Amino acid sequence: MTAVGLAQSLWLLLAALGLALPVRYAGIPLLGQGAFVAVGGYAVVLLGPGGTGLPLGVAAGLAVSLAAAAGYLTALATARLDGGYLALATWALAWLVQRAPTAFPDLLGGTEGFSRPAPARLVSRTLGIEVTLTDRTSLLLAAGCCLLALATLARLGRGPLGLELAGLRESAPLAASLGVPVAARRRAVLTWAAALGGLAGAGSTVLTGVISPADVSPLLSLELLAAVLIGPARWWGPVPGVALLAVLPAGPLAGAGSGGVPARGMLVGLLLLAGVVVPLVVRSARLRGWRVVLPGFLRPAQPEPPEPLEHRLEPLEPLEPRPDRLPELWPTVAARPQPALELVSASVRHSGGPVLDDVSLTLRHGEVHALIGPNGSGKSTLLEVLAGSLDAGAVRLGGVPHRARTPVHRARAGVVRTPQQPVVPAGLPPARQVALGASGNGRWSHAGLRQLLGTPLSRVQAAELRAWRAGILDALGLGRLAEADPSRLSTGERQLLQLARAVATGAPVLLFDEPAAGMTAAERAVLRDVLRLLADRGAAVAIVEHDLRLVAAVADRITVLDAGRVLASGAAATVRAEPRVRRALLGEE
Amino acid sequence: MIAGVLLQVVLAGLAQGVVLGLVALGFSLVAGTARVLPFAHGDIVVGAAFLAVLAVAGRTPTAAPPGRLASVALLVFTLAAGAALSGLVGGLTVLSDGARQPGPESWIAGGLAAGLLLRAGLAFVLAQQAYALPDALHVDALAPGGLLRLPGGGTVPVRAVCVLAIGLAAGLATEAVLARSRFGAAVRAVADDPAGAALCGVPARRVMVAAFSLAGLLAGLAGLLATPGRAVSVGDGALLGLAAAAAAVLGGIGSPRGALAGGLLIGCLQALAGYAFGTGVADLLPLVLLVAVLAVRPPSGRGGRLTGRPMRRLPSGRSAAAAPR
């Protein structure tokens, strides 16, 4: 292979590495990477020498910025789309960008495209530089860019930012509820993917000196996707795929009305299909209990393959909580004003009538506040109002009006609510799920960026985070399950894991919806101790619970709801003695 | 004079639009029922037409009107090829779903691979840039010279009128089937809640594959209506599929009538844009519309309007019952 051919393949690899960021790391099925490559390529030709006449370096910088801007706009436009429709929209973008030159031939060169003299020359009079981009220099440049991208991806996968992206991939609502700014991360991912695609496009165009719609056909996007999907979920994943593409017969892909060489189209199609079929076959074989041995380099790093069902039916080992291991969660909580959270006169109604009718409630630091009442009495709705996810009444957090519209803001403001149905993504081991909670914690702000840059502080922070995570897991009795397969956890262990994640955010106001549902007696005992421990450390804990024995054992205050109204509220002993409460809950006459 | 030209343009646009509408109806049906987007759908339209022509007329087809037997064979083969291809893609998609893959990448890539393989496979056999395909329906023979004379002295191509009539009839018939028949009830039940439908004894997976096949049947019909009378290339399917997706999203995923209307609207706009600015711009129009509609009014993707009432909310912070206002 010639130096030019190798450099071309390296630029292709750079585009594929950019695509791996959304597809592999963040689980965003971007189909329009070819469009960003085209933006970079066309921009450098139109702006650079021979176009508007900017120096090559400036033109290349602008081209990459334009591609990045296109990625950012794409992220904005597709912010509310779920996977399939995002793929559809970006697939349309890939075609749009390829067809635009044909529609506006005067501006974009039509089907012929543009050509510029090669080798190009980088000239700066002010700096006194004059470099001719020979084949060798271009090869070094492309290799340098690829190595930098590979090193960054490798670091990213190990650090807090990679974890946040994994959270985005596994369950975006969950990550948001733990304070991970999912929308911003999504925009950043698409912007960086587009920037790398644009750089690849600019580099490859400068190298060959030609660009035309045939070079950036939408099928380029498919080639890149195939290269990403065929490789393992590792930082170097796209490398084998791009190497395969490099040895495929060159030539225009079939289709797009070109009637061109169909062999490459066929092979890319097969490659894409293999990228889909091989993991599915391995997965279903493992589900049936067959041993599938893959060579080490093909073994996926994440997620772990599911185990056959019969292996899960093993006796539960008792949990051993170690309260002494709980880190100092809320060092400043003593200085926080009481009450922690105050709700004044909340009313919620829907078509069937009132769900909540003029409900007021106060949560205090150091107390467990139980919300009890029959099904449909409005407990979960009240919890949503307290969390700020439902707008009703006036919520004051530490004396300040609490107006947080998104789950991310709520978590950052210090209020975290666990959902009624446990959400436990199968792709993240418990330790990483708890670490995800910690990454939403303001205590380690910019930890992700620091780790990526390798600042001295980042090592200290990483150690702190590890200790924090391990301490919380141990305190809740999940220490030995830190690296377990999440799909093998019992219901009670899942509930405790939810608690651990919420605690890891460092939010001092914790709202748990039926945390004891599905728990064994032993697990309930652990839960009781954990709730007590959290309150003793200063948290304001509210639980919705049906198990009155647990409530009696743990609650400092009880609020009884019936048909959306507060039946009784106050210290636990007082409420329990109320005749009205006994009538409502126990049917006593 | 200009009115006559406009009429021609709009009529041609409507004829092209009703074809888009049929493809969009299939797209919408699959997206609503099986909850995957059929990325290969456009390729299936073109692929079905070419496969049938290959089977009946061989590798060097001409536009000459086929004999009676050949016409019937062409008709049957095109419809069957559409249903079979789409059913095959659907079967593979639905079956592989059993392995509980975590993300949508697998069916997205699978659909794209299916389209690409179909396109490339046909390109192996059919090497020319473009082909003129025979017309199994013989609509041009209905009027002398293929033109209908209007009372005012103008003429319109009889092909456009026939395509429009057949397409609309087929689209409305499909809607009626979905709304009235037992099969339609099963489709709507699966669109609403696959697990619930399965609990009630509806074979949800089979219904999903059947929805794919019905979509393929409509794709075959679209191929029959659209391919004669113009130069068709093996690679035309991808853009056709995207235009149909635009029509389906515009009309509301899961709404048969919406898909037809969206197709007619896009076809019309495309014809007018082509008349005013050239075909290059007309090709871009559905793509721009698709991106814009998705950005402004994102479909929530679960069952769509097939369920006959507003879609259920996606799991998020608040539950449907507690939503005020």
Question: What pLDDT was estimated at residue A588?
Answer: 60
Q: What percent of chain A has pLDDT over 90?
A: 33
Identify the H or E element spanning A360.
Answer: strand A353-363
Question: What pLDDT was estimated at residue A215?
Answer: 84
Q: Which residue of B has its CA nearest to A281?
A: B99
The answer to whether the Cα torsion of A363, A369, A374, A379 is positive or negative is positive
- pLDDT of residue A253 exceeding 60, the answer is no
- Residue A386, C-beta contacts closer than 8 angstroms, at least 6 positions apart: A341, A343, A361, A363, A395, A415, A417, A511, A542
CA A568, CA A547: separation in Å to the nearest integer?
Answer: 18
Question: What pLDDT was estimated at residue A259?
Answer: 40
Mean pLDDT of the A120-138 span: 79
Q: Which residue of B has its CA nearest to A419?
A: B317
Contacts of B96 in chain A (CB under 8 A): 276-277, 280
Residue A544 DSSP SS3 = strand
Cβ–Cβ gap B235/A427 under 8 Å: no
For residue A207, give the nearest of A383, A483, A2 by alpha carbon: A2
Cβ–Cβ gap B116/A269 under 8 Å: yes
Smallest CA–CA distance, residue B22 to chain A, in Å, is 19
Cβ–Cβ gap B319/A256 under 8 Å: no
Highest mean pLDDT of the ranges A264-268, B103-107, B281-285, B315-319: B281-285
Task: Tell me what the pLDDT averaged over chain A comes to.
Answer: 84
Residue A209 backbone class (left: φ over 0; alpha: ψ -120 to 50; beta: rest): left
Vertex A386: Cα angle to A381 and A387 (nearest 5):
95
> To 10 degrees, what angle do helices B279-296 and B237-251 make?
40
Cβ–Cβ gap A384/B129 under 8 Å: no
Question: What pLDDT was estimated at residue A296?
Answer: 47
Contact (Cβ atoms closer than 8 angstroms) between residue A217 and residue A102: no
CA A514, CA A269: separation in Å to the nearest integer?
Answer: 49
Q: What percent of chain B has pLDDT over 90?
A: 50
- Residue B69, C-beta contacts closer than 8 angstroms, at least 6 positions apart: none
- pLDDT of residue A549 exceeding 90, the answer is no
Q: Which residue of A has its CA nearest to B98?
A: A284
Cβ–Cβ gap A392/B127 under 8 Å: no
Mean pLDDT of the A98-122 span: 85
Question: What pLDDT was estimated at residue A575?
Answer: 83
- pLDDT of residue A135 exceeding 90, the answer is no
Cβ–Cβ gap A262/B124 under 8 Å: yes
Contacts of A218 in chain B (CB under 8 A): 238
Q: Which of B89, B93, B105, B126 to mutate to test the interface with A (most CBs of A within 10 A)?
A: B105
Between residues B94 and A90, the one the model is more confident about: A90
- Residue B97, C-beta contacts closer than 8 angstroms, at least 6 positions apart: B107
Q: Is B65 on the interface with A (CB under 8 A)?
A: no
Q: For residue range B231-254, list pLDDT tens digits in order.
A: 898 888 999 999 999 999 999 888
Q: For residue range A560-589, list pLDDT tens digits in order.
A: 988 888 888 888 888 877 888 777 777 665
Q: Which of A73, A85, A178, A267 to mutate to test the interface with B (most CBs of B within 10 A)?
A: A85
Q: How many CB atoms lie within 10 A of CB A130?
A: 10
Q: For residue range A390-417, list pLDDT tens digits in order.
A: 777 788 888 788 776 777 888 888 889 8
Rounded to 10 degrees, what is the CA torsion of A254, A260, A266, A272?
-40
Mean pLDDT of the B93-111 span: 74
Bridge partners (DSSP) listed for residue A350: A353
Contact (Cβ atoms closer than 8 angstroms) between residue B242 and residue B42: yes
For residue A541, give the nearest of A383, A377, A403 by alpha carbon: A383
Q: How many CB atoms lie within 10 A of CB B179?
A: 14
Question: What pLDDT was estimated at residue A589?
Answer: 55
ipTM of the complex: 0.91
Q: For residue range B71-82, list pLDDT tens digits in order.
A: 999 999 999 999
Which of B 210-249 lie inside 8 A of A, CB atoms?
233-236, 238-239, 242, 245-246, 249
Contacts of A104 in chain B (CB under 8 A): 280
Cβ–Cβ gap A100/B101 under 8 Å: no
- pLDDT of residue B309 exceeding 60, the answer is no
Cβ–Cβ gap B298/A270 under 8 Å: no
Contacts of A93 in chain B (CB under 8 A): 287, 291
Q: Which of A272, A389, A409 to mutate to test the interface with B (most CBs of B within 10 A)?
A: A272
pLDDT tier for residue B305 given thresholds of 50, 70 and 90 = low
Task: Average the pLDDT over each of A185-189, A316-320, A464-468, B176-180 and give the range with the smallest value.
Answer: A316-320
Which of B 115-174 lie inside 8 A of A, CB atoms?
116-117, 119-121, 123-124, 127-130
Q: Which two tokens stand for residue A364?
A: 């205090």
Identify the H or E element spanning A210.
Answer: strand A210-211
Q: Is A363 on the interface with B (CB under 8 A)?
A: no
Question: What pLDDT was estimated at residue A257?
Answer: 39
Which member of A85, A222, A259 has the closest CB to residue B294?
A: A85
- pLDDT of residue B311 exceeding 90, the answer is no
Give helix then strand counts, H and E, for chain A. Answer: 22, 14
- Residue A74, C-beta contacts closer than 8 angstroms, at least 6 positions apart: A32, A89, A90, A93, A190, A194
- Residue A302, C-beta contacts closer than 8 angstroms, at least 6 positions apart: A166, A233, A427, A428
Which of A 465-494 lie inside 8 A of B, CB atoms?
none
Mean pLDDT of the A1-29 span: 92
Q: Which two tokens stand for residue A61?
A: 């910088």
Question: What pLDDT was estimated at residue A2?
Answer: 83
- pLDDT of residue B324 exceeding 60, the answer is no
Q: Is A226 on the interface with B (CB under 8 A)?
A: yes
Contact (Cβ atoms closer than 8 angstroms) between residue B263 and residue B42: no
Between residues B308 and A93, the one the model is more confident about: A93
> Exposure of A586 by Cβ count < 10 A (0-12 exposed, 13-18 middle, 19+ buried)?
exposed
Q: How many CB atoms lie within 10 A of CB B313?
A: 12
Q: Determine the distance from the C-alpha atom of residue A197 to the mean position of all C-alpha atoms in its chain, rounded to a whole number.
A: 21
> To 10 degrees, what angle do helices B237-251 and A83-103 make?
120
Cβ–Cβ gap A389/B103 under 8 Å: no
Cβ–Cβ gap B105/A392 under 8 Å: no
Pairing relationship of beta strands A509-513 and A540-544 according to DSSP bridges: parallel
Q: Which two tokens stand for residue B208?
A: 């999903």
CA B218, CA B45: separation in Å to the nearest integer?
Answer: 9
